[in-house]
């Protein structure tokens, strides 16, 4: 048995308004006149938040397009442009949902590692640390703020740059930044966390480390989505900590069926992570009966639309593509179904599952 030696985020600041400390926090990380680069989710263009970015000297603010989940080509373009303009930078700070945070992690790594980010899609392929990087979530749920990966769609695969150099040096958890997120988006991303908890807590890889965080995150999700009748500031506070704890839970265990299946949807149809997980989880009663029952209650209570029949009319070849992508996720299947998962999850059974979506 080889135990994971888990590299964590170095510094965490939590609290309403903690974003105001950013200037002070990054000051010691500035290297001469090399700029800090802020990658801000394009949703915040012309917003008050854009005017609160602590720009100094040659600092650069880039509004990143997160219409699609991050691509290796986009990461390479941003890093290439920065190298051309500045040579080197003091750091990269990602502010936004999981997409903007993942872009920041990847760009930081590509400021120092040669070649294309596509060369590093996999496990422990990144060999040298990136420049200083900080993550600041404006949506809660993905756990990208604590994870050792940055999920990228490359020329041949959708796979993260998983490495000990990937976690942020600093995260700023300011729940005020998640206020006013659209109800559906907030739900889809929040459910990513809920699903992380269910998949971790029911998985065969479960251990007390994962359980401690997973149970707390699950309880927080239930408080905001099941018990409370209206969304308020406290809900933002709780969901932000749920995301953090949910991320810590899966870091030391693994996700499961919903993630394995939704990867296939993302690859073929471009379905985004949060909504894709919801579409799949909605149909997983046979694997997660209690979780799916509660999920449906939360969907109803929060008046959310979960898209239906999204795989209707796809060809055999397209179904096979999704099945191939999904079955590559071996640790996820093993966590969900145990060592004999290959006997349990046949291509036919997976095809039937995809047809339900
Ligand atoms: P997202 O970052 O893709 O953003 C979704 C939408 O919400 C975008 O249109 C964005 O502009 C908008 N948005 C962001 N903050 C907002 C706010 N406060 N108010 C209103 N709109 C806002 O969504 P997400 O669900 O946070 O992240 C999904 C991404 O995270 C995917 O790319 C996925 O691959 C990645 N992910 C990464 C990890 C990891 O460990 N690295 C884990 C899970 C998911
Ligand atoms: Zn997820």
Tens digit of pLDDT for each residue in 225-262? 999 999 999 999 999 999 999 999 999 999 999 999 99
Q: Which ligand is nearest to the CA of 139?
A: 1
Question: Is the Cβ atom of 151 under 6 angstroms away from ligand 1?
Answer: yes
Question: Is the Cβ atom of 102 under 6 angstroms away from ligand 1?
Answer: yes
| Domain made up of 11-178: CATH architecture | 3-Layer(aba) Sandwich (3.40)
**Ligand 2 centroid from CA 241, angstroms:** 15
Q: Find out whether 72 and 117 touch, Cβ atoms under 8 Å.
A: yes
Q: Find out whether 137 and 192 touch, Cβ atoms under 8 Å.
A: no
**Ligand 1 centroid from CA 338, angstroms:** 30
**pLDDT above 80 for 211:** yes
**According to the model, what pLDDT value does residue 157 have?**
81
**pLDDT above 90 for 74:** yes
> Looking at ligand 1, which atom is closest to the CA of residue 160?
41
Tell me what the mean pLDDT of segment 86-106 comes to: 98
Residues of the chain with pLDDT > 90: what percent?
96
Question: Is the Cβ atom of 69 under 6 angstroms away from ligand 1?
Answer: yes
Give strand pairing partners of 122. Answer: 161
d(CA 274, CA 193): 9
d(CA 225, CA 191): 9
Question: Is the Cβ atom of 185 under 6 angstroms away from ligand 1?
Answer: yes
Domain with CATH 1.20.1090.10 in the chain: 183-356
Closest C-alpha to 100, from 39, 146, 169: 39
d(CA 198, CA 255): 9
Please name the residues in contact with 300: beta carbons below 8 A apart, sequence gap of 6 or more: none
What digits encode the pLDDT tens for the residues 146-195? 999 999 999 888 889 999 999 999 999 999 999 989 999 999 999 999 99
Q: Find out whether 338 and 346 touch, Cβ atoms under 8 Å.
A: no
Ligand 1 pocket test target in 94, 139, 242 with most atoms within 8 Å of CB: 139
**According to the model, what pLDDT value does residue 119 have?**
97
**pLDDT above 80 for 1:** no
Average pLDDT score over the chain: 96
Domain with CATH 3.40.50.1970 in the chain: 11-178
Order of all β-strands in the sheet with 122-123:
122-123, 158-162, 151-153
CB atoms within 10 A of CB 321: 15
- pTM exceeds cut of 0.85: yes
Q: Whose CA is nearest to atom 25 of ligand 1?
A: 189
Q: Whose CA is nearest to atom 19 of ligand 1?
A: 181
Which band of pLDDT confidence, cut at 50, 70 and 90, is reported for residue 4?
Answer: confident
Question: Is the Cβ atom of 143 under 6 angstroms away from ligand 1?
Answer: yes
The helix (run of H) or strand (run of E) holding residue 292 is: helix 289-301
Q: Which ligand is nearest to the CA of 71?
A: 1
Question: Is the Cβ atom of 166 under 6 angstroms away from ligand 1?
Answer: no
Residue 165 CA neighbour count, 13 Å, CB half: 20
What digits encode the pLDDT tens for the residues 273-331? 999 999 999 999 999 999 999 999 999 999 999 999 999 999 999 999 999 999 999 99
Please name the residues in contact with 200: beta carbons below 8 A apart, sequence gap of 6 or more: 206, 210, 211, 214, 246, 249, 250, 253, 254, 255, 256
Question: Is the Cβ atom of 149 under 6 angstroms away from ligand 1?
Answer: yes
Ligand 1 pocket test target in 185, 190, 251, 277 with most atoms within 8 Å of CB: 185
Reading the block at residue 4, the tokens are: 């994971």
Q: Find out whether 260 and 336 touch, Cβ atoms under 8 Å.
A: yes
Residues of the chain with pLDDT > 70: what percent?
100
**pLDDT above 90 for 219:** yes
| Domain made up of 183-356: CATH architecture | Up-down Bundle (1.20)
Give strand pairing partners of 153. Answer: 71, 158
């Amino acid at each position: 048995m080889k135990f994971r030696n888990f590299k964590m985020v170095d510094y965490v600041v939590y609290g309403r308004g903690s974003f105001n400390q950013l200037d002070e926090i990054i000051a010691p990380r500035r290297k001469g006149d090399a700029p800090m680069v802020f990658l801000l989710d394009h949703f915040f263009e012309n917003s008050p938040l854009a005017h609160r970015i602590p720009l100094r000297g040659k600092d650069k603010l880039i509004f990143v397009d997160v219409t699609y989940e991050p691509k290796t080509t986009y990461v390479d373009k941003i890093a290439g442009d920065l190298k051309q303009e500045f040579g080197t930078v003091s750091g990269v700070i990602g502010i936004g949902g999981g997409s903007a945070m993942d872009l920041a992690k990847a760009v930081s790594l590509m400021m120092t590692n040669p070649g294309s980010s596509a060369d590093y899609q996999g496990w422990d392929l990144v060999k040298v640390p990136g420049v200083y990087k900080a993550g600041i979530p404006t949506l809660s749920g993905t756990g990208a703020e604590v994870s050792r990966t940055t999920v990228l769609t490359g020329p041949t695969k959708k796979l993260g740059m998983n490495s000990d150099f990937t976690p942020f040096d600093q995260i700023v958890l300011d729940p005020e930044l998640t206020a006013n997120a659209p109800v559906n988006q907030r739900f889809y991303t929040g459910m990513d966390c809920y699903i992380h908890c269910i998949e971790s807590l029911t998985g065969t890889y479960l251990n007390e480390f994962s359980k401690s965080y997973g149970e707390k995150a699950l309880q927080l999700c239930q408080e905001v989505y099941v018990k409370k009748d209206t969304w308020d500031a406290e809900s933002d506070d709780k969901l932000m900590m749920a995301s953090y704890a949910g991320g810590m839970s899966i870091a030391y265990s693994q996700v499961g069926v919903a993630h394995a299946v939704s990867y296939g949807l993302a690859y073929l149809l471009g379905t985004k992570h949060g909504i894709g997980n919801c579409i799949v989880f909605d149909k997983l009663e046979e694997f997660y009966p209690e979780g799916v029952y509660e999920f449906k209650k939360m969907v109803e209570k929060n008046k959310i639309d979960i898209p239906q029949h999204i795989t209707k009319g796809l060809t055999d070849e397209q179904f096979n593509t999704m099945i191939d992508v999904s079955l590559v996720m071996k640790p996820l299947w093993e966590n969900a179904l145990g060592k004999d998962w290959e006997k349990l999850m046949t291509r036919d059974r997976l095809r039937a599952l995809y047809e339900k979506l």
